[in-house]
Structure 1
Amino acid sequence: MYGIVNKAIQDLVTETFGEDKWEAVKEKSGVDVDFFLSNEPYEDSITYELVGAASEVLGISAGDVLQAFGEWWVLKTGKEKYGGLMESGGNNLKEFLVNLPLFHNRIMLMYPKLTPPEFKVSDIEESSIHVHYHSEREGLQEFVRGLMSGLGKMYEVDVNVELLQSRSDGSSHEIFKVSW
């Protein structure tokens, strides 16, 4: 993953829990990086180590860390680093989710070494949509749930994100039903 992901985890922990908690997370994770360069790729294992250490240090589940990180990614990192791109995604949550499959195509122009997930949508209704999440990286479904929740907050809409199928249940990918 690119350094911007790890930097966002650092920002989430630092701004929400304090610099001392971030130092504890770094120490517990064994990650020996003084600062993350946003445009540089890092091993995925670093991100997983940071999430695991944050879970232990903060006393919350890794799923809760990932969900909080997903919301943070949309509301802080996305808006601050990719404001124009986020705004061009749609005028409301439904439009953004319908356009989501094209979103990473634009991101790949900025991060050419990116191995992005793939999103597809189906079952588009007036107040719900199914979001299909395909990724070679496992264990990030709660991050995606947080992203969907963060998008709801960005558009000031109450959302419910229900996991309909998961790779942990033997499926080929995750499907979320996002309702508003």
Structure 2
Amino acid sequence: MYGIIYKAFEQYVIDTFDVETWNITISKSLVSMNTKTIDQPYNDAITFEIAKQLSKSTNLAIDKILFQLGEYVVKITREKYLLIMQSRDNDFKDYLLNLPSFHNRMLLIYPKLTPPEFKVTVVNDTILMLHYYTNTSGMKEYIKGYLNGLVRAFESNVEIEHIVSRQLNKFEDVFKISW
């Protein structure tokens, strides 16, 4: 989602706190990004750094910030970039099944993109496993929030369970999603 995540992060902070909190958080995080455009490289390390600084500024737990940000990314994408949502499909399950190929296509379009990786394993008609790989530890709550936002967006009745979190060469989180 390239710079959409940064735009959503800015809007989340402004809506939840205020513009001053956003400006302070960005200045203390020492990251460089432009929230005016979605056409810029993204990586989880920057998101985590901003969340860490926001946590320090607001005394809100970083896990709560990451969860809420994940939800907000879906909200902003639906409100401002609906075609991106629709390009992945019209229901929760198909959206998740298309998530890995969407990220692969984005890598072709935006070669400087450093997104996390997704893999979906279909267990049966009512269960799938979503594997999330990143170089940045601590992003599990972000993905939980993102999935929760998708559940709301697609008005789905699913159960999401975090079943694995381990470090190989990358950090991997696996979510069991049941209908």
Same-fold call, TM cutoff 0.5: yes
Number of matched residues?
A: 178
Per-residue CA distance 1:71-108 (angstroms, 9 max, x = gap): 111121x2245422311322211111122221112323
Per-residue CA distance 1:24-70 (angstroms, 9 max, x = gap): 4234x243758545323378654333111211223221111111111
Shift of 1:140: 1.3
More strand by share: 2
1:40 is aligned to: 40
Per-residue CA distance 1:102-136 (angstroms, 9 max, x = gap): 11123234422112222111243344321011222
TM-score by length of 2: 0.81
Structure 1 vs Structure 2 CA RMSD: 2.9
Structure 1 residue identity aligned to 2:30: V
Shift of 1:143: 1.2
Structure 1 residue identity aligned to 2:18: G
* Structure 1, gaps ≥5 residues long: none
Larger RCO (alpha carbons 8 Å, 6+ apart)? 2
2:13 is aligned to: 13
Shift of 1:139: 2.1
Give 3-state SS (helix, strand or coil) of 1:112's partner: coil
* Structure 2, gaps ≥5 residues long: none
TM-score by length of 1: 0.81
1:50 is aligned to: 50
Give 3-state SS (helix, strand or coil) of 1:97's partner: helix
Instruction: Measure, in 2, the Cα distance between the counterparts of 1:61 and 1:93.
Output: 28
Moved more, 55-64 or 161-170: 161-170
Distance 1:106 1:170, change over 3 A: closer
Instruction: Decide whether the 8 Å contact of 2:41 with 2:114 is kept in 1.
Output: no
2:163 is aligned to: 164
Instruction: Decide whether the 8 Å contact of 1:149 with 1:159 is kept in 2.
Output: no
